[in-house]
Amino acid sequence: MSEEIKPFRVDIPQQQLDDLRERLERTRWPAVLPGDDWDTGVPTAWLKELADYWRTGYDWRLAEAELNKHPQFTTTIDGQRVHFLHVRSAKPDALPLVLTHGWPGSVVEFLDVIEPLSADFHLVIPSLPGFGFSGPVSDSGWTVERIARAWAELMRRLGYERFGVQGGDIGAAVSPEVGRVAPDRVVGVHVNGGPGPMPPLPLSEEELAGLTDLERDRVARIEAFMREEFGYIAIQSTRPQTLGYGLVDSPVGQLAWIMDKFREWTHPRTTSPELVIDRDRLLTNVMIYWLTGTAGSAAYVGYAQDAGWGAVAANSGVPTGVIAFAHDIGIRRYAETANTITRWVDVDRGGHFAALEEPELLVADVREFFREIVSDPL
């Protein structure tokens, strides 16, 4: 099988952009539900305003040019096309670092951290299999372990024998797994949110009593998530193909599906997501899904995993650092059952999309973590 690495450049035909604009003009809007607020999903009035800006004010060509400022490539690993950015540091001996995004994210998540991180690291930023320009998937079985093995292979092809890994959301599951499949090569694992596992719910009264106030708050928010927000995982992990028809055919459907999570998971939750993250950046992330038609395959890969919610993986022994922002639900005492935690920082602001919401904080913590564990100071 070829190990060729091919240069890649984003170049979307104008016909696709014209088609998107026409579809947005012809949107068939649902009746407004009572209250038209976030309790029943994305409010119609809010979404209409955002969709109108998408149609008349957003400029994909500017976003495309920003992506193309960075060297991009594709290669085939384990039968799957993998797209990635590869930004080398001006420091020849900089530590290589793999950044892995999550759902409903993309490589767009990392655009604001590339410049500061590349001062100290050679950056490799892949699109997850089935996501964006790495999609769609060609076969089943893309568990986090398989993705981790693909990342280790990608780094081998790039000539990086020793490297670090970082990620959030799905990336926070993949990154520790890279340490498990290649513990002799991974110098450190850094995640935002927490590397898992989650606490085995429900907790007994005795166990709850032994937790700190912060830990009890996170347990309560995990329980609320399972009651109120788990529906999207149930759909994506069981009926991704059925869901895909609507999301791939309707740009407003795709926009609503993703914006629902950006509103729920940014911090503070009561603030509209476009006031937390730049509106154009939000739309560029949505565009990656729309232009590549990968809503179904991203859902299929993202949540059709074998491991259970509270499953405990083997500890790789690789030093692991965590930055947990205000919205996050990682709990150190549970994470330590499967990870060698050497640094844990709780932050009282920021949400799930760390690189988009708090890029400076994330960069500083990544830099400090790897400074602590590598012999050559960054």
Q: How many residues does the chain have?
A: 378
78 in active site: no
58 in active site: no
Answer whether 123's CB lies under 8 Å from 99's CB. Answer: yes
Tokens of 369: 């973590």
What kind and span of H or E run contains 27?
A: none
The neighbouring-strand residues paired with 122 are 96
As a dihedral over the C-alpha atoms of residue 248, residue 252, residue 256, residue 257, rounded to 10 degrees, the angle is 0
169 in active site: yes
Return the axis-axis angle of helices 279-292 and 60-68, rounded to nearest 10°: 80
CA distance 173 to 187: 17
Place of tokens 């305003």: 49
CA distance 374 to 187: 7
Q: Choosing from 112, 120, 169, 280, which is the catalytic residue? A: 169
Answer whether 97's CB lies under 8 Å from 165's CB. Answer: yes
Place of tokens 């309560």: 220
Tokens of 327: 């919205």
CA distance 148 to 146: 5
CA distance 48 to 10: 28
Q: DSSP characters for 75-88?
A: EEETTEEEEEEEE-
Nearest to 101 by CA among 345, 298, 266: 298
Residues sharing a CB contact under 8 Å with residue 275, sequence separation 6 or more, in sequence order: none
**Using the 8-state DSSP alphabet, how is residue 363 labeled?**
H
Q: Choosing from 122, 190, 267, 352, which is the catalytic residue? A: 352
Answer whether 376's CB lies under 8 Å from 354's CB. Answer: no
> The sheet that has 163-168: what strands, in order across it?
6-8, 72-77, 80-87, 121-126, 95-100, 163-168, 186-192, 319-324, 340-346
Residues labelled as active-site residues: 169, 303, 352
